[in-house]
Amino acid sequence: MAAAFTLAQLLLVRPGMGLGWDETVYVSQVSPQAPAAFFSAPRTRGVSVLVAPVAAWSTSTPLLRVYLALLSGLGLYLALRCWRGLFPARVLAAGGALFASLWVTLFYGPQAMANLWVALGALAAVGCFLRAAADRTRRAPLWGLAFSAALMALMRPTDAVWAALPMLVLPLAVRRFRQPLLLLALAGGLVAGAAQWVVEAYVSFGGVAERLSQGSDIQGGLGWNIAVDDQIRSLGGRSLCRPCTGAAPHPAVYAWWLALPVLAAAGLLIAVRARRALPTLLPLACATTAAIPYLFMIDYAAPRFLLPAYALVAIPVADALGWLVTAPSAPWRRLATVLVVIGLAGHLAVQYVVLERTVDRATASHRAWARTATALHRAGVRPPCVVASHGTDTPPIPVAFYAGCSSAATSGHNANTTAARLARTARRTPVAVLTGAGGRPPSYARGWRSVHLDGPVYAYLSPSPNP
């Protein structure tokens, strides 16, 4: 199943898709292709560590995609292995297939993004936690728990805490789970994974509280905000729904999303009746806490935000579906089997259509950035160089990465310089300011020549630098 997941990524999410905006930020930290992009408060270094074995020496995006597809397939396999003995193998395989067949899982499998790795870490951590609690004599589950927790925290520390919250509370609330090594492995893994983020918070952001505050500001302020409808709108293939306006997609696109809590509840009921509630209840509890900030605390949505929740509910849902096609009496079993097969077939068809359209849109955007970078080269803007933007939707960070330039911003969440400093830089380094058609230059670029780059994208180019 994990091998099929990798193969599906390579066939459906083409390795030549190019790097997205966020990906260029993470890859630029280790890649020789361009200087490191500005690293804002919400970001973490985990993805840069993940891609470093390839990106540190190769600028080939297809090679990076293949590497990440293979790695994510291996990660899914290892995460499911952590659940051996807790559910039958067929349930684990079915749960893995359900998670792996979601368009959002396939789309982000070969991408340099953190959310899928938080999901795999959470899935592995819960499995290891349950196995370690059931057998105090074994050390392998404890090491697996520590490593999985560290992986989550390395990728996204705050998401890791939310996902691990029920596991942190359980040893304190239930006597049978009061095992010092269990809590030590979980907490130690979280601390180890978040250590770099904490150190960077004090070095670059003024402390943990200030970094969290800046991250909250960038995300529009964390607080009570129902984003359930935003998540539904994003399921049509919008990688980032901000602002999340417009109509929801066709109900067939999000029917699976509405069915998830129903099937999860059915899985829990089945487990309770079979007197094996904990292996179902704990992942569902972790899925709930992992989803809370993205459903009720931000005012925008992205499908990838809920990947940890999807991974954690997949096994209980698979257990419920398996019960439907095996447990009822013969007449009802045949009907249930037909309904499940039809439902899954329709679900897979919808996932494929959404994935295909999402990949096409992403590929078109990435190629447009690459064309803009090529046009900058033709206009004489070559490394070392700087790319900024003014009054346009074209983001300077990915264009700068494709062009091999540094990116600059004098305002906004990615501000890393001032107008005066950028004007001084232009005296010795080629600087390009991206604008739209008819766009006016910023004050420091008045008098610079305007060139048409690609489509609606224009640029003001600084005069030739002084020797």
Kindly list the domain boundaries of the chain, sorted by start residue.
2-324, 364-461
- Alpha-carbon distances, residue 13 vs 65, 118, 181, 370, 451 (angstroms): 9, 20, 41, 18, 34
| pLDDT reported for residue 243 | 82
The answer to whether the CB of 383 falls within 8 A of the CB of 404 is yes
Which is nearest to 307 in space by CA: 82, 92, 75, 129? 75
How far is Cα 86 from Cα 61, in angstroms, rounded to an integer? 39
How far is Cα 267 from Cα 277, in angstroms, rounded to an integer? 9
Structure tokens at 42: 């919400």
β-bridge mates for residue 431, sequence order: 386
303: Cβ–Cβ under 8 A, 6 or more apart, which residues? 104, 231, 234, 235, 238, 239
The answer to whether the CB of 266 falls within 8 A of the CB of 244 is no
Alpha-helical runs (H) found in 379-453: 396-403, 419-425
- How confident is the prediction along the chain (467 residues), in pLDDT tens digits per residue? 889 999 999 999 999 999 999 999 999 999 999 999 999 999 999 999 999 999 999 999 999 999 999 999 999 999 999 999 999 999 999 999 999 999 999 999 999 999 999 999 999 999 999 999 998 888 999 999 999 999 999 999 999 999 999 999 998 888 888 888 999 999 999 999 999 999 999 999 999 999 999 999 888 788 888 899 999 999 999 998 888 888 899 999 999 999 999 999 999 999 999 888 999 999 999 999 999 999 999 989 999 999 999 999 999 999 999 998 887 676 778 888 889 999 999 999 999 999 999 999 999 999 999 999 999 999 999 999 999 999 888 999 999 999 999 999 998 889 999 999 999 999 999 999 999 988 899 999 999 999 999 999 999 999 976 55
Maximum Cα–Cα distance across the chain: 86
129: Cβ–Cβ under 8 A, 6 or more apart, which residues? 141, 145, 167, 182, 186, 282
Structure tokens at 220: 């529009």
pTM of this structure: 0.96
In this structure, the dihedral spanned by the alpha carbons of residues 278, 279, 280 and 283, taken in order and rounded to 10 degrees, is: 100
Sign of CA dihedral 357, 360, 361, 363: positive
CB-count burial class (<10 Å; 0-12, 13-18, 19+) for 146: buried
